[in-house]
Structure 1
Amino acid sequence: MDDRDTLASLISAPLQPLDERWRSPERAAELAQARALHDRDPDDYWVWVAEKHRWITKWQSVRAGELGDFRYFEGGRINVADNCVDRWAENPATADQPAVVWEGEPGDTRTLTYAELSDEVGRLAGGLRSLGIGHGDVVAVYMPNLVEAFTAIHACNKIGAIYTVLFSGFGRDAVASRLAAARAKAVVVADAIYRRGRPVELLETLRAALPDAPTVESVVVVDRTQRGVELAPGEVSYAALLAEHPDGAATVALDPNEPAFLIFTSGTESRPKGVVHSVGGFLLGTWANVHWQAGPVEGDVYWVAADVGWLTFPIQAVIGGLAHGSTIACYEGALDTPGPSRFYDICERHGVTQVLCAPTVLRMLRKFGDDLAADHPLPRLQLITVQGEPLDGETFAWATETYGVPIVNAYGQTETGSTWTYPVTGVDDLKAGSAGTPVPGHAFAVVDEEGHEVPAGVKGNLVMTRPFPTLARTVWDDHERYLSTYFGRFPGRYATNDEAVVDADGHLWVLGRADDVINVAAHRLSTMEIEAVVTTHPRVVEAAVVGIPDATKGTVPVAFVTVTGGSADEVPDEVRALVGDTIGGIARPDRVIVTAAMPKTRTGKIMRRLMREVLLHGEARSDTSALEDPGSLDTLSAAVKG
């Protein structure tokens, strides 16, 4: 079987008609209207989205410029906090509706209505103003999924400060480098947070980082653990700041194209890359993203089971979710703590109707077993939507059968600011593993190395062919880096640096990073293609494939697997045979390594580059700041050594 046959097999999943229980004629009609607007002119569609929001000043023009240098809704003025918090708090029908339903890992809970959220956001905004924070200043938010993450972000939005969320798993060096790169003027931090049953000290880490972050003038401390915090010079209490500013702060009218926040990407580069998203563009795009992907209606409880440090959480919860006036469930800790039923417990306790998570979460639940799922039927659940990594067909099938709800697979990137291709909830049919078709307002192509579009069934480079509001506008302090990274390879188009293929039905299949394509004896193989076969083994729950140098073949694949059941002695040979029989000997893994843990980010993305480094060097050598469990590298190293 050659590479084309393998690809055809991977994307041959049949269309699965959406169960009539989940179809919505009203949404189908609305989507038809939106697609008609897009077909006439995508900018007409974005006007339709813009008109769903409250503007302080109406715009004069819809769009100016093209990819690399574009602006939307020139002349308009808008505020994100006004649209996500205040307009719902001012409405008698929604003022007392829960906005955030929060649960801590130890089991403590807190609920804020929209009226209460608006009050706390206003008080914190007033407090930040009293500390000298104003329009255009940068505020870092260093905490996990706490209510205060919502209030800090929207307090910044209210006064026009630029926020940047620092992953709560970052250590001293990662925090210091990002604070320095952002030129942060203030930090809002939790004293500590709970993770896997123990407190993780954040304030200590921040204090150690501050000598290398000279622009930081103020630190606002949230006493998460209630242990009592002895404040150092330059630190103020979050609670005291709220108490001192009952009158809040004025809402600032902002240009929709100015920076709202920056998010730093992790990778092999030594210099942090701060991707910048805009005020109005991000608001409008994330509203549309949640509208089509989650389809919230009155009475829903939407749980975004992701970390606030992963852009998915601001997209789906803090901005896009609240922009709908939705009730957002928020959980602080690990989904398997104190035991494997925690995911189900949260869904039951808070009446969750929609869940967004990484595919890794579904694979974790599958590993926990069918009996546990059967003990927790989740009658209110209506949708599970996943993103962040490719969704394999086996996991799709298991989740569909187990939970009996649509499993919507979406694709997007930090730089795109939202997912932009997926089956629209309540309308579109599904395909196991595909990312559906683009939603209105977005256009793409799959091209070869010379930039020529390839036909259906042929894989190539995924590019975006026209602007859309949520696309990142620049790299902080380095616009040339932005242009060269995203527009240098295919001028006039945004390069996702992912490989993809379109099937005969027009569905998009994202195969993974272009640099995860390995060249074995002159045959280009996507690691996702090999992983998709490996996960069909009945005992394999999760798989990751990486390429390593080989003197004869140039590169050979190595597969890491986690398994269920008892002894795994036979699994490596069985997996190698399975891949050889399915794809061909050229794709047969050189090694299959059974490991109890894989290095992942807190959002569940497998860090394949670290796995490759452990294979090649016996240790991880690049950025590990996003690693959720440092002990997973020790487990992996032991597995590699055999």
Structure 2
Amino acid sequence: MSQNSADSTGADSLTHLLDSPIVPLRAEWTVPERVEQLAAARALDGPDAYWEWVARQQRWSTPWTTVRTGEIDDFRYFEGGRLNVADNCVDRWAEDPATADRAAVVWEGEPGDTRTVTYAELAGEVTRLAAGLLGLGVRKGDVVAIYMPNLVEAFTTIHACNRIGAIYTVLFSGFGEEAVASRLQAARATVVVVADAIYRRTKPVPLLETLRAARTRTPSVRATVVVDRTGEAVPLGEGEHAYADVLESGAAGTPAVPLDPNEPSFLIFTSGTESKPKGVVHSVGGFLLGTWANAHWQVGYEPGDVYWVAADVGWLTFPIQAVVGGLACGMTIACFEGALDTPTTARFYEICERHAVTKVLCAPTLVRMLRKFGDDLAAAHPLPGLKLVTVQGEPLDGDTFGWATDTLGVPVVNAYGQTETGSTWTYPVYGAEDLKAGSVGTPVPGHAFEILDDDGAPVAPGVKGNLVLTSPFPTLARTVWDDHERYLSTYFSRFPGKYATNDEAVLDHDGHLWVLGRADDVINVAAHRISTMEIEAVVTAHPDVVEAAVVGVPDDTKGTVPIAFVTLREGAGDEAPEQIRARVVGEMGGYARLDRIFVTPAMPKTRTGKTMRRLLRDVVVHGGPTGDTSAMDDPAALEAVARVVGATEVRA
């Protein structure tokens, strides 16, 4: 960041963040053994010693000879070693009499149907499915696509692929034909495992029908395995096989294949408006080790825990925290198929009560939704067994943090990571570290960062800049599928020798990190650079604001101006918008003045709860969406925004 930029948007505009007080860890939130273990981990001699400790928590079929070779843009871990992800996540617990009958997955469908699968049962289904996939011609290195929502079969399919060394890719179940076809083409998938349909907001969504249309353009797909989610016994066509039949054909099972920890394990395609989907590649051992550590520090297994990862399997968070990291830690994972406001706003609380949930991971949007539903609803559903809420995926505002801490009575751990980092890498460790409302704490062991100006020089605490990672770690993506040059140019060209997150951040004077949002969300208002996320943090601090999104739109005079979309609490007064505008000016200065404020009852979100800010911008600038809307959860929310803005027609 240039000196002029730093001067114009320096510490003064960040006062609302930098002055945030530390929230001490309460005695009832403290887990002494985790405090001791974290201290020991931080005392290890550097990142490589730490990752060696993590590696020793896993089961290896062949020991490694070298912990790490290479640097951040070209590295390998645990050369010579061999291991298997399914063996570590499933078999090791199924073989132990003390854990074989522990619930691995506690599942609930939107209609209310439930299923509980123990580690022993999960191991049996995984090995049968793996053998069945081999019978369909799937071999080590082949790509298997998984097109389904949060079902037990998502767990079994991922680990069946892990077992035989197939590469899996999860397609978001909200994707339409074009999005599915483009990703199958890019991945060169040979087999797709799909649910015949899913339930979403009480209605079945026909996935198999969409896949069939997409397959006309994906000649690499040789076979489809169909999970009968609805019980409708949909007639199968050529090349389509019932999931139950594939299990039966693999009744003899198959052993776990020892794999090089640096081999590709899965692809995840980043969303956006680019014409060609970008398939980020994560490795076998790297992803296992990093996600084990992630789940261990961010959540931590304690006897009797039921850990609900309230995210979609198509969001990388779910494989990190549930399918791989959670199971690698031996946790019981709660899994829910549907929408958390269906059929009533009490659904979240009812799931926690029904399944004795002790820890929850979600996007901040879910907590804001609970706050919007009101204190009376929360009071009607006390959750005495709840011990933790941890959030990630988008910025957490201080008011939402405070509401959850006070109303739910638990610590709120705010974590930060990216698709490319393969895990969250900075957060206050559960049960061991103090909190700050909205900050993402400090890096966990094995990770190192810097905040740089635009010329690559470190900035002082209190000054925002470009967030980079300076040391390799196992879960960092290894390449972009079929395009390694794109990988190097996207992440390592701007700051050579460092991984560019493309996010802006600031370090406060207590050593806590604040991620301000994408660097490309920085707007120029009359020559002043400012992050829309900074303005958003001020807007959400207004007591009547339940949710907010700030975007920049073109302006003839200033070039760009910020506008805000806000959802207000019930009973908010008509004066709230002007109060919000005055608050922004008072805390950040006149250059940050909101040009317009739109009060809307809902905002367009992905199924994982992320607000789709580009769609909000499109409605104002173009009158409707100009890019892909396949990841949007509820088109009615965009229609509501359009009515508020005054757009004549919006089609999602």
Provide the residue aligned with 1:417 in structure 2: 422
> Given residue 41 of structure 2, which amino acid in structure 1 is its aligned partner?
A
* Maintained 8 Å contact 1:568/1:594: no
Q: In structure 1, the residue corresponding to 2:23 is in which secondary structure?
A: coil
- Letter aligned with residue 234 of structure 2: V
Q: 2:29 aligns with which of 16, 22, 29?
A: 22
Aligned to 1:130: 135
Secondary structure of the structure 1 residue equivalent to 2:274: coil
SS at match of 2:435: coil
What letter matches 1:94 in structure 2? T
1:553 aligns with 2:558: yes
What is the deviation of 1:10?
A: 2.0
What does residue 469 of structure 1 align with? 474
Q: Which moved more, 1:482-491 or 1:516-525?
A: 516-525
Distance, in Å, in 1 between the alignment partners of 2:572 and 2:26 is: 39
The CA deviation at 1:627 is 1.3
- In structure 1, the partner of 2:4 is none
Q: Distance in 2 between matches of 1:328 and 1:304?
A: 7
For 1:207-218, list aligned pairs within 5 A. Answer: 207-218=212-223
Q: Distance in 2 between matches of 1:466 and 1:213?
A: 39
User: Which shifted more, 493-502 or 528-537?
Assistant: 528-537
1:540 aligns with 2:545: yes
Kindly provide the amino acid, as one letter, of the partner of residue 244 in structure 2.
Answer: A
Query: Match for residue 626 of structure 1?
Result: 631
Tell me whether 599-608 or 631-640 shows the greater mean CA deviation: 631-640
Distance 1:338 1:628 in 2: 16
Give the superposition deviation at 1:615: 1.2
SS at match of 2:174: coil
What's the counterpart of residue 159 of structure 1?
164
Query: Could you tell me which amino acid in structure 2 is paired with residue 447 of structure 1?
Result: L
User: Residue 378 of structure 1 aligns to which amino acid in structure 2?
Assistant: L
Q: Which letter does structure 1 place at the counterpart of 2:292? A: W
CA contact (8 A) 1:145 1:331 kept: yes
Please say if 1:310 is aligned against 2:315.
Answer: yes
Residue 407 of structure 2 corresponds to residue 388 of structure 1: no
- The answer to whether the 8 A contact 2:104-2:330 is kept is yes
Q: CA RMSD in A?
A: 1.1
Say which SS state the counterpart of residue 422 (structure 2) adopts. Answer: coil
8 Å CA contact 2:175–2:631 kept in 1: the answer is yes
Letter matched to residue 464 of structure 1: L
Distance 2:113 2:627 in 1: 37
Contact 1:499 1:514 in 2 (8 A): yes
Tell me the CA shift for residue 296 of structure 1: 1.2
1:264 equivalent in alignment to 2:295 = no
Q: Distance in 1 between matches of 2:382 and 2:183?
A: 43
Tell me if the contact between 2:16 and 2:538 (Cα under 8 Å) persists in the aligned partners. Answer: no
Please, which runs of 5 or more residues in structure 1 have no aligned partner? Answer: none
Question: Given the alignment, which residue of 455, 458, 461 partners 2:463?
Answer: 458
Give 1:225's aligned residue.
230
* TM-aligned CA deviation for residue 125 of structure 1: 0.4
1:67 match:
72
Q: Which runs of 5+ in 2 are unaligned?
A: 1-6, 648-652
Q: Which moved more, 1:405-414 or 1:536-545?
A: 536-545
Q: 3-state DSSP class of the match of 2:144?
A: strand
Look up the SS of the partner of 1:454 in the other structure: coil
Distance in 1 between residues matched to 2:234 and 2:50, nearest whole Å: 50
Partners in 2 of 1:508 and 1:274 — Cα distance? 29
Aligned with 2:382: secondary structure? coil
Give the one of 515, 522, 531 matched to 2:520: 515
Q: Which amino acid is the alignment partner of residue 453 of structure 2?
A: D
C-alpha distance in structure 1 between counterparts of 2:566 and 2:593, whole Å: 14
Letter in 1 for 2:38: L
Deviations, residues 556-597 of structure 1 (Å, cap 9, x unaligned):
000001112257643332321221222222111100011122
Taking the aligned partners of 1:8 and 1:583, their CA distance within structure 2 comes to: 8
State whether structure 2 residue 368 is matched by structure 1 residue 363.
yes
Which secondary structure does the structure 1 equivalent of 2:357 belong to? coil
Letter in 1 for 2:128: R
Structure 1 length as normaliser, TM-score? 0.98
**Equivalent position to 2:489, from 457, 471, 484:** 484
Offset, 1:543: 0.3
- Matched residues, number: 640
Q: Which amino acid is the alignment partner of residue 400 of structure 2?
A: T
| % same residue | 72
Q: Which residue of 2 aligns with 1:84?
A: 89
Instruction: Say whether residues 1:427 and 2:458 are aligned partners.
Output: no
Selected match of 2:147 from 142, 150, 161: 142
Shift of residue 494, structure 1, vs aligned partner: 0.3
* Contact 2:465–2:504 (Cα < 8 Å) also in 1: yes
**What is the CA distance between 1:537 and its match in structure 2?**
2.0
Distance 1:625 1:195 in 2: 15
The aligned residue for residue 14 of structure 2 is 7
CA contact (8 A) 1:2 1:583 kept: no
Where does residue 98 of structure 1 map in the other structure?
Answer: 103
Partner of 2:592: 587
Distance in 2 of aligned mates of 1:597 and 1:9: 26
Extract structure 1 runs of 4+ deviating beyond 6 A.
Answer: none
Cα deviations by residue, 1:182-214 (Å, 9 ceiling, x for unpaired): 000000000000000110110000000001111
In structure 1, the partner of 2:331 is 326
Question: Could you tell me how far apart the structure 2 residues matched to 1:575 and 1:200 are?
Answer: 40
Deviation string 1:1-58 (CA, Å, 9 cap, x unpaired) is 9733121222211111100111122111111110011xx2210000000000000110
Q: Deviations over 1:390-415 (max 9, x none)?
A: 10001001111001110000000000
8 Å CA contact retained: 2:163, 2:256: yes
CA distance in 2, matches of 1:100, 1:527: 39
Q: Does 1:32 align with 2:45?
A: no
Deviation at 1:538?
2.2
Match of 1:190 among 187, 195, 198: 195
Worse-superposed segment, 559-568 or 268-277 = 559-568
Task: Name 1:401's counterpart in structure 2.
Answer: 406
The aligned amino acid for 2:271 is S
Q: Report what 2:582 is aligned to.
A: 577
SS at the partner of 2:216? helix
The corresponding residue for 1:524 is 529
Describe the superposition over 1:462-483 as per-residue Cα deviations: whole angstroms up to 9, x where unpaired.
Answer: 0000100000000000000000
CA distance in 2, matches of 1:508, 1:228: 52
